[in-house]
Amino acid sequence: VRLKNLSKEGPGSLDWQTKKKFPITMAALMTASDLGATTKPWNIQRKIAGMVAEEFWYQGDLEKAELSTPLVPMMDRELRHELPRLQVGFCEGVCLPVYRALTCLSPALQPMEDAVVFNRDRWAELAENNQEEDEGNENKVTRNL
């Protein structure tokens, strides 16, 4: 909310000397850095998403075996065919709000926002194709990552 409010003020509001604005801007830049893989070229972004998904699925396998607890979808290996849909949601719900706000503060960051939109659209295409394809292939989403 604070970042969104700051971004509404536009590029002129970015002041590194203002104690109220500095931590908000720094936190947003750190978050953007953490989310940076979503701004990479598609072939790289897709590979990184696959590697992160494998880490989540491994953690989910451990939790399932050791704790017998229900898993959130992104950590459930049995739902790996939903990775594209989950990535669309991640781009829309987490990444784009950050990059849109930062672009409002610094228009020079527009290419990063554009890259997330491009990658989100590629994930959406995969999600649409996965719904139409035969679900018989266990690992069709990650086999080519």
CA-based torsion, 139, 118, 43, 53: positive or negative? negative
- pLDDT in the model for residue 95: 97
8-state DSSP, 75: G
Q: What's the pTM?
A: 0.83
Going by the DSSP 8-state scheme, the letter that residue 73 receives in this structure is: G
**Do residues 143 and 45 make contact, with C-beta atoms less than 8 angstroms apart?**
no
Sequential pLDDT tens for the chain (145 residues): 888 888 998 888 777 788 888 889 899 999 999 999 999 999 999 999 999 999 999 999 999 999 988 899 999 999 999 999 999 999 999 999 999 999 999 999 999 999 999 999 999 999 998 754 444 444 445 544 4
Q: Measured between alpha carbons, how far is 141 from 18 in angstroms, rounded to an integer?
A: 46
Beta strands per DSSP E along 16-76: none
The closest alpha carbon to 118, from 32, 17, 30, 46, belongs to 46
